[in-house]
Amino acid sequence: MTCREMTEFLREFVDGELPPEVKLEFDTHVAKCQDCVVFLEQYRATIQASQGAFGVPHDVPEELVSAIMKALEQAR
């Protein structure tokens, strides 16, 4: 397996969808390729960054609650 092929299989690897025989080749390549170790780490970190960048607001804007309740009253 080459770095290009490792990169193509990254999503399946991270999402746990690689067939066992391909995963074996994937693991073998990563074990001896430092660039791929770093790239795999950064691919995972990118997913983590996406997921972590959107926090759940603790305070719901009061004007939003008022607007929703007013709209609901009209919808009844």
Partner 1 sequence: MDETQLAAALKSGDPAAFEALVRSEAGRLLAVTRRILANEEDARDATQEAFISAFKARNQFSGESKVSTWLHRIAVNAALSKLRSQKRRPEESIEDLLPRFLPNGHYARPYAAWAEPVDEALARKETARLVRDTIDKLPESFRMALLLRDIAGLSTAEAAETLGTTPNAVKLRLHRARLALRTLLEPHFGGAPA
Question: Could you list the residues that contact partner 1 (CB under 8 A)?
Answer: 2-5, 7, 10-11, 35, 38-39, 41-43, 45-61, 64-65, 67-69, 71-73, 75
CB 32, min distance to partner 1, A? 12
Nearest-angstrom CA–CA distance, 52 and 70: 33
Residue with smaller CB distance to partner 1, 11 or 28: 11
Nearest-angstrom CA–CA distance, 14 and 34: 18
CB 29, min distance to partner 1, A? 10
Which of 46, 2, 45 shows the shortest CA–CA distance to 26?
A: 2
